[in-house]
Amino acid sequence: MIDFGINGIVLRVKSKTLGEVGDRSVCGKTLCDWVSIAFGAPTKVIDGAQTVNAVEKLRSAVDRKKPVTVVLYCDTPLVSSRTVSAAVEKLQSENANVVRLPRGFVFKTEYLFETDALFLQSEDQKDGEFATVTDGERLSAVSDVIRKRILRYHAANGVFISDFKNTYIDCDVVISRGVTIEPYNFIKGKTVIKEGATILPGNYIENCIIAENARIDSSRLYDSSVGASTKVGPFAYIRPNSVIGSNCRIGDFVELKNCIIGNGSKVSHLTYIGDAQLGEDCNVGCGVVFANYDGKNKYRSVVGNRVFIGSNANIVAPVSIADRAFIAAGSTITKAVPTQALAVARARQSVIENWQGNVYAPPLDGGSYTPKKIRVVQYDDGIIDGTSDEHGKDNR
């Protein structure tokens, strides 16, 4: 509960090695934010780096109508609200003007307007709630304490975390009971992970929604959502604004960007889909590329339900592929494909027997040879055909 009768003041300080200490981020919040949580009251942040006598600066920052003012330094992010509350109770019960903390003060607000001097400098602390962040080593030590607090909170709420030493979860992440999180995971931002999901080792997940019973393996996910019972990875790259439906398969070395993948669709490996919408129960083969960029603008492709896209196909946006269409392997699709059609867009295969022009595979006898000439024909449909001239003449 927020106490609106307290002025909360966070003093910014600087370090030679860290610069503005309060701006350093730990588990999703800055050090100033972590200190602000301890107040249980609205807070203001003011510069305290060069402050010795802080009276004038504090007078201009506080609301005189609030009877109590609490001042803490931004470099003590481990201080608890319990400690601050106890100090406030002591101030009131003893009717004191000031209660000194190891790194901060609690005092009557009116005291600021009755005194000419208030010296806020305190000694640095190495351990405990008031452990002070002065360099990179201390920042790391404090970060580890905060990280473990977050992990203990989730574990107490029924999340299975197998390795506290190698799991990193930001403070705003929401995880449901029954989720399994294995080692070497970084779960950041406003991520939400729902019941029954399994986060296998080696993921980086930021600002994502992971639905029930999804399974994420050794992948990178940003600002996207993954549907129920969908499998992602290993080594998938889910870029922002991607929406993956339920019961999907996004396999190894697949990259998605700003796209929608319908329920039950499979993109198993080595594929890029950008600025596209796929319907339900589609199959996208190996090595498929959605070519969405012409060097200046990006375009969107729309694929219907139950479409099969063969391996090594290129889908050149903007293009639409209707329901139940079949794209033959190796095709480059630049025009719309109607419902239940087969689209084939390949050059005709030509076989030149006994060809001697491969400099990487000369004749085994090491003798000299003259490569055969090739006659090349381009047809009206754009297909290029090549055949050999038996007499060795150049007829091109």
State CA 75 to chain mean position distance.
27
* CA pair distance 212, 246, nearest whole angstrom: 9
Q: What is the largest CA-CA distance in the chain?
A: 113
The answer to whether the beta carbons of residues 196 and 180 sit under 8 Å apart is: no
Say how many residues make up the chain: 396
**Closest to 333 (Cα-Cα) out of 292, 370, 296, 295:** 292
Q: What angle do CA 157, 162, 163 make, to 5 degrees?
A: 110
CB within 8 Å of 389: residues ≥ 6 apart: 372, 373, 374, 375, 395
The DSSP code sequence of 75-142 is T-TT--HHHHHHHHHHHHHTT-SEEEETTEEEEEHHHHTT-S--B-----BSSSTTB---SHHHHHHH
Give the count of beta carbons closer than 10 Å to the beta carbon of residue 355.
12
CB within 8 Å of 351: residues ≥ 6 apart: none
Q: Which of 105, 139, 269, 285 is catalytic?
A: 269
* CA pair distance 198, 219, nearest whole angstrom: 13
What one-character DSSP code corresponds to residue 50?
T
Q: Which helix (H) or strand (E) holds 148?
A: helix 136-156
The answer to whether the beta carbons of residues 237 and 219 sit under 8 Å apart is: yes
* CA pair distance 87, 4, nearest whole angstrom: 17
Residue 312 Ramachandran class (φ > 0 left, ψ -120 to 50 alpha, else beta): left
Q: Is 269 a catalytic residue?
A: yes
Which amino acids are annotated catalytic?
269
